[in-house]
Structure 1
């Protein structure tokens, strides 16, 4: 650590990075534009960042058929919850700190739509019926009151070549079952885990 040269102030950071262009400063909006609605209607995946009152952070992926993020009005969206591992780290954070950040992704597109706002956990509302997928009506939804929304530039996706299949190497690492067996304290055998995360796993996407 003695060899690290840390940044300790906003002034030092600006000296290193410079100031953003005016169009970058002015691009955020407080309400949905028609193009934002179109983006949400085409997006099947988003990331939700939260932080508890004590600073504990979490980023949780959410995915469903395109348009799963429900637009309630120009200032409010709702994200349905689906069956998962029940850790609920992000939801627990929201109970002590409602501030959230979301990144909405469309496969093949290098820019993203970002939304920042304040979130509430809702266990029942009339719009839940509109978020039913394969007969599964959500038991919980995240309702976000939008404070800031903007399109984020494409450079990170371009640098990573994320959408170029020729760069993909999904088999460079062991199977998920093997990773779980190696990094977690778990009693199940590798064979049992391979079965659990195999073909039957997809059948449980909407099962509680």
Structure 2
């Protein structure tokens, strides 16, 4: 692939606008500052979202998932995202402590359209809130209370191009490095990759919540 030359970099908004004009009306009218009934139904059908944040160390994007709906809709301006068990890096939470702005991209299995939410999050350890988010009797340590600033759907082009939901285009897992191999190679074999892979399925199953 050709290496991009710096002299062709786009460095200002006017140059971008010239390249991508005109903007279709339906691309703008679809944006709301709250959840209407249609957007609420789409969000509640999504079991997976990517959460984007930004902080002093830069940007971060991480996956979130739960059975049925990944977030709980409190009202037209507020959604709740439980912080389920993970690797304890808490990159997203560290960012949100200093910069509450965040974005979510919701995927709905089998559906081409995605949903985008931009907003501001606060990290809550309210016991009553967390109790209502328990799964299998296990509460999250905290939850994100997200105020919706903008919500809109994204057309299906990216999903169609990628064939994301097409089983015929699914990648053979055996053709790619396993988590154990990645860790073993990166750590120069300090981590036993074969043991990690062998123990991983049971560990994931036991630590979902």
Q: Scaled by the length of structure 1, what TM-score is found?
A: 0.92
Equivalent in 173, 178, 184 of residue 175 of structure 1? 178
Q: How does 1:40-79 map to 2 (within 5 A)?
A: 40-52=43-55, 54=56, 56-79=58-81
The question of 1:139 aligning with 2:114 is answered: no
- 1 CA distance for matches of 2:189 and 2:133? 35
Change (3 A) 1:2 1:196: closer
Question: 22-31 or 184-193: which moved more?
Answer: 184-193
Structure 2: 5+ residue stretches without partners: none
Which residue number in structure 1 is paired with residue 132 of structure 2? 130
CA RMSD of aligned residues (A): 1.7
The alpha carbon displacement at 1:30 in A equals 0.7
The question of 1:114 aligning with 2:116 is answered: yes
The alpha carbon displacement at 1:20 in A equals 1.3
Deviations 1:35-78 (A, max 9, x none): 222122211100110001x3610001000101231111110001
Deviations 1:151-176 (A, max 9, x none): 11111111001110111112220222
Change (3 A) 1:2 1:82: closer
Question: 179-188 or 110-119: which moved more?
Answer: 179-188
Aligned length: 205
Q: Scaled by the length of structure 2, what TM-score is found?
A: 0.91
- 1 CA distance for matches of 2:138 and 2:153? 31
Question: 107-116 or 119-128: which moved more?
Answer: 119-128
Checking the alignment, whether the CA contact within 8 Å between 2:103 and 2:119 is kept in structure 1 is yes
Which residue number in structure 2 is paired with residue 102 of structure 1? 104
Deviations 1:2-45 (A, max 9, x none): 83311011111111122311111121101111122212221110
2:14 is paired with a residue whose SS is helix
The alpha carbon displacement at 1:198 in A equals 3.0
Change (3 A) 1:191 1:121: same
2:149 is paired with a residue whose SS is strand
Structure 1: 5+ residue stretches without partners: none
